[in-house]
Amino acid sequence: MFARVFIFLLVVFFRCGTCNVVKRSTSCRDNVCEFRWIIDYKFTMMWYNETSEGTVYQPIVQDSKGFIRRRSTSPNCSETHEAVSLDEFKELVSTGDGDYRMVYAINGQIPGPEIVVTEGDVVAILVYNRLKMEGVTIHWHGLLHKGTPWMDGASMISQCPIMPGQVFEY
């Protein structure tokens, strides 16, 4: 019986390969994991292209053939359209709920980056607020704050907000 279960698990493991493997964050050294987060504005349903000249973004629309990005490239502001491949769409577009919205993003990501650590790790997260007018906090669901209740992120209840241009370390 044990041999059959062992062989079954071995076969399942080799068939699966790397499916759903959770790996510890690469920012972890020994038992300390450090993360740097920049909170900034981002538009959903926009094609973003980071270049050396700055960020270029164009609205994404869908037609009968797929996703296209809209551009105004002529002096008379006539529109041209370019197809967007599925790979480009996945890589360069934050869809949100499918509407055009300005949202807060962490490191340009919606939803924000994962934090994958192991039990016993010390986690330090440096948060930079690059918003223009809004103060922000991070509310940590499922984490106990023994001895640090002011770091729970409920703005103006348990923590003062991180004001624009400020940095806070959780």
- The side-by-side arrangement of strands in the sheet containing 54-63 is 46-51, 54-63, 66-72, 79-83
Interval 27-66: pLDDT, tens = 888 889 999 999 999 888 887 766 656 666 778 877 777 7
Closest alpha carbon to 68 in 89, 91, 94? 89
* Nearest CA among 36, 37, 22, 29 for reference residue 122: 29
Average pLDDT over residues 111-126: 89
Q: Which ranges of 1-121 does DSSP label H, i.e. alpha helix?
A: 2-16, 86-92
Q: How many residues does the chain have?
A: 170
- Ranking 10-14, 21-25, 40-44, 151-155 by mean pLDDT, the lowest is 10-14
User: What is the pLDDT at residue 95?
Assistant: 80
Question: Which tokens is 156 given?
Answer: 């103006």
Distance CA 21, CA 36 (A): 24
Please, are residues 143 and 154 in contact by the beta-carbon 8 Å criterion? no
Beta strands 32-43 and 122-129: pairing type?
parallel
Residue 10's pLDDT band, with cuts at 50, 70 and 90, is: very low
Q: Looking at the DSSP assignment, which residues form a beta bridge with residue 32?
A: 29, 122
| Residue 108, pLDDT score | 86
pLDDT surpasses 90 at 133: yes
From start to end of the chain, where are the E strands?
A: 28-29, 32-43, 46-51, 54-63, 66-72, 79-83, 102-106, 122-129, 167-169
